[in-house]
Amino acid sequence: MRGVFCANFVTPRLHWEPCRSVWHGRCYTPPPDERFYYNVVADGDGFDWRPPEAVSRYKEGRDGDHLLTTFQCNLCCFRKQRRDPIPSFPPDDLLLCAIRRANLDAMWGREPHTVNATLRAAKGMIVQWSKVGLAPQFPPLGPFPVCDSLGMAVAIAMLMKSLEPGRYNTSYQQFETIRKLRAGFLNIYMASQDGVSSLRTVGGDKVKHHLTYSPTQSKWFEMFSQGYVRRMGQDVRQDWAIPLPAVHALLNILENEWRTTDSEASREKIASLGAFAVIGFCGSFRGSEVFLTDLHGLRTFLKDTERLGRDHVVVPLLGRFKGEQNSRYHLSPMANVTSSGIPILRWIKRLVEVREREGRLHGPAFCNRAGGIAKSFDYEADFIDRLMEIQAVNPVAVPPDVDVAEQFGVSRSFRRGATSVARARGIDDKYVTLINRWRTVENSRGKKPSLPMHEHYSDISILVPEMVKFSYGL
């Protein structure tokens, strides 16, 4: 049984004449000059150890692909522009190449064994029907209307976007970047006349499912996305967890800098970096969350700690957090000094002092010169510079073979490091969960009322001794 695939634009045809070419699956291949990226499984020395049959993955169709994947040939898809391609015209050649690549990616959204099983089932049914004189009873596989009902145009846009330089590679962009085009199209479609008129909603007040005719929600587009990811792979580069010795070495460098400088500008930067490090690490926060530290609240709780002799200091974050709808306080009690000697209270006091000398009593504790909330790039370079300095003199804290600039970052290194160190030091998982799942623990879900700061502290006060155990154990 042969796969029913239309040929490329091989011979001139009359306008709108149907394509009737029939191929074996392996005849459907990309052009030799295709520039789309293929992920290669290789060892650390670059040796490709894949079996011979794996080399052809994503580079040819298979008999039976048309039974699982909605297929429209290059020419049919092109003619939805209501014209024929111009031979040897570069833009048209590139479009035909992209159409073929999108079709192949959609086909390879299914594994070979699934395609073979479906093909065998189809052959078996034809044999059984023939015994009783029945013609094949499969529904027609085409033709399709002259419109983009599958999302081919968005798939082509994504493929073309993938050819642009990316963050980690100068020759292509990854799926995590280009998939945003699909989300953007869906948002626009849902706001359009077609999207509004076709939208149907099922469910109750809390959970709803939306039914839509958007072409990017088609089964073909789902298979295209899966095949695309399999062909390109995913190069996910998370911030490495910063180890405890590196945190101590970082704070020691900042301590020496603090003692040897009289410059207010330098002290402001040093205090900000030190406070950011202790709050991010000991509170297990993402970098974006640390920047929401409220200066007024920090000053208030610092005074309470000193006046009442508490063994902890409360770090208040004010803003709208990920997964929540309302701006509100989140209070994180931390030990004044951890069991390994991280001086949390000292650096928080220094941060408050430099802000007060600047005349700032309210607003974000981590701010830029204009008083706005600081961003990651305001701290990233200084953080990386000091880690490189540590690496040069202390290979135990930061191994010499680590690319510091590539592997560490203020966004998640402290949070990931805190969780790893906590478990390595034997801190009970319930305290790790309590800190990292504070939204669930406080039952916020974005619906908790925005209580005044001290009332909110009273509301969580029963949990304070438990919450402090996490930071103290570091």
215 and 345 both lie in a single domain: no
CATH number at residue 423: 1.10.443
CA distance 59 to 73: 16
85 and 164 both lie in a single domain: yes
112 and 215 both lie in a single domain: yes
49 and 87 both lie in a single domain: yes
272 and 205 both lie in a single domain: no
Q: Yes or no: say if 108 and 228 are a contact pair by the CB < 8 Å rule.
A: no
126 and 70 both lie in a single domain: yes
221 and 272 both lie in a single domain: no
Better-scored residue on pLDDT, 461 or 69: 69
CA distance 435 to 338: 15
Kindly state whether residue 9 falls inside one of the protein's structural domains. no
Triad 287, 288, 290: Cα angle to 5°: 65
282 and 225 both lie in a single domain: no
The pLDDT of residue 411 is 81
Of the three residues 232, 254, 287, the one that is the final residue of a domain is 232
DSSP letter at 365 equals S
Kindly state whether residue 12 falls inside one of the protein's structural domains. no
The pLDDT of residue 7 is 38
Kindly state whether residue 20 falls inside one of the protein's structural domains. no
88 and 110 both lie in a single domain: yes
Tokens, residue 283: 């509170």
Kindly state whether residue 14 falls inside one of the protein's structural domains. no
For 126-164, the pLDDT digits (tens) are: 999 999 999 989 898 878 888 888 999 999 999 999 888
Does residue 168 have a pLDDT over 70?
A: no
Q: Which of 270, 235, 290, 275 is nearest to 412 (CA)?
A: 290
For 296-341, the pLDDT digits (tens) are: 888 888 888 888 888 888 888 876 555 444 446 678 888 899 988 9
The pLDDT of residue 325 is 43
Report the relative pairing of strands 208-211 and 200-203 from DSSP bridges.
antiparallel
For 207-254, the pLDDT digits (tens) are: 777 788 888 989 999 999 999 988 887 766 667 888 888 889 899 999
| Domain count within the chain | 2
CA distance 308 to 399: 43
Kindly state whether residue 237 falls inside one of the protein's structural domains. no
The pLDDT of residue 326 is 43
The pLDDT of residue 56 is 80
Most confident of 294-298, 368-372, 422-426: 294-298
Mean pLDDT of the chain: 81
Q: Yes or no: say if 300 and 309 are a contact pair by the CB < 8 Å rule.
A: no
260 and 223 both lie in a single domain: no
The pLDDT of residue 19 is 55
Of the three residues 182, 212, 232, the one that is the final residue of a domain is 232
CA-atom Rg of the chain in angstroms? 30
What's the mean pLDDT in 343-353? 92
Kindly state whether residue 111 falls inside one of the protein's structural domains. yes
The pLDDT of residue 22 is 58
Give the structural domain span for 140: 25-232
The pLDDT of residue 113 is 92
319 and 190 both lie in a single domain: no
pLDDT band at 3 (very low <50, low <70, confident <90, very high): very low
pLDDT band at 73 (very low <50, low <70, confident <90, very high): confident
For 183-215, the pLDDT digits (tens) are: 999 999 889 988 888 888 887 766 777 788 888
Q: Which of 122, 321, 289, 153 is nearest to 224 (CA)?
A: 153
For 91-121, the pLDDT digits (tens) are: 999 999 999 999 999 999 999 899 999 999 9
Of the three residues 232, 261, 294, the one that is the final residue of a domain is 232
345 and 210 both lie in a single domain: no
Better-scored residue on pLDDT, 22 or 75: 75
Does residue 438 have a pLDDT over 60?
A: no
The pLDDT of residue 455 is 52
For 369-421, the pLDDT digits (tens) are: 888 888 888 888 888 888 888 888 888 888 888 788 777 888 888 888 888 88
Which residues on adjacent β-strands are paired with residue 335? 312
For 11-56, the pLDDT digits (tens) are: 333 344 455 555 677 888 888 888 888 877 666 666 766 676 777 8
